[in-house]
Amino acid sequence: MQDHIDLRRTKRTETARALWYVGPGLMQIQEEALGSPRAGTVRIRATHGAISRGTESLVAAGRVPSSEFQRMRAPFMAGEFPFPVKYGYATVGTVDSGASVFALHPHQTVFDVPAESAIPIPSAVPASRAVLAANMETALNAVWDADGRFEKVAVVGAGVVGALTGFVCRKLAADDITLVDINPARAVVAAALGLHFATPDKAPAECDLVFHASASAAGLATALGLARDEATIIELSWYGDAAVPVPLGGAFHSRRLKLIASQVGKVAPSHRRDWSHRRRLEHAINLLADDRLDVLLEPSIAFEDLPRRLPFVLAAGTLCQLIDYKERAGVHR
């Protein structure tokens, strides 16, 4: 793993191209001048990126509630909610030394960030897989929010965050883990990660711990139904401006269930004293040194093709949509 980042600066002025959400379902690539890098910053040339479909679909639709305009600002975001905004938080690129780094930065070809915001990528993690770092950090924090070891775990919603949560549980906390999803094709993902799989009607009951990551009321109801008495349900989904019915009647209180929100903006209380945001992100990147995680990556699309193809990506049930900044628009692998 690289233990430092080259801070050498270039004197030439460059023009970058960035993706902007400009209206409901509308995206544009816009140019901006970078100027000369300031002291203490590094210039990153993007090679790969990823779409975080859950959050970005809400941003693209203008569904960030006004009460969350400030809390939902991503690092280095530009513009203002609802539109126009330059948004995103999964970019991998190279610095002048040639080292690969990860940055929580919107989708952009070239950009400058403070040196401490560029996280070196270890040699065991391919640049294309490193785009999962932000989602892995979310999953890691959710498992920390569980604050303990559990024998029987269910994860409802086998998208990227749900699958990574199951993966982290298996690695750090438990052995009996089931991914639960309405899409039976997600059994392939579960098998690749060494996890069990079930559709909701066949999901295991009496779980010690249940994570919910389907972003649907039906999924949350399923999660509550899978928990044993006095179990914990950790809610990872963010619903934007949607009102979500939660079945808190019936036996919810008599079973003494615990429903906890997990959000990556703060380090989980169980680790907050000893772990900084940067250390947590570095650890998340190290967890990506596993070839099995490539099952979560969709075939790449060219950055220049994002305005045309992104509406379909956000509407479909894709996993992690990989962006290739070196690929020419219209030419796809």
For the beta carbon of residue 257, count every other beta carbon within 10 angstroms.
19
Residue 198: CB atoms within 10 Å: 18
Task: Count Cα atoms within 13 angstroms, Cβ side, for 250.
Answer: 9
Tell me how long the chain is: 333
Q: What is the pLDDT of residue 22?
A: 98
Per DSSP, the residues of 255-302 read TT-EEEE--TTS--TTTTTT--HHHHHHHHHHTT--GGGGGGEEEEEE
- Of 209, 265, 218, 256, the closest CA to residue 239 belongs to 218
Q: Walk me through the domains of the chain, giving residue ranges and CATH numbers.
A: 15-132+288-324 (3.90.180.10), 136-261 (3.40.50.720)
Give the angle 63-64-66 at the CA atoms, nearest 5°.
120
- Report pLDDT for 6: 53
Task: Supply the pTM of this predicted model.
Answer: 0.92
Distance CA 140, CA 164 (A): 8
pLDDT for 12 equals 57
pLDDT of residue 149: 73
What is the pLDDT, as a whole number, of residue 7? 47
Look at strands 176-180 and 26-33 and give their pairing. unpaired
pLDDT given at position 331: 42
| Mean pLDDT by groups of 10 residues along the chain of 333 residues | 49 85 97 93 98 95 96 96 98 97 98 98 98 98 89 96 97 88 98 98 96 97 97 96 92 96 96 97 98 98 97 93 80 39
Instruction: Give the span between the Cα atoms of 215 and 160, in whole angstroms.
Output: 12
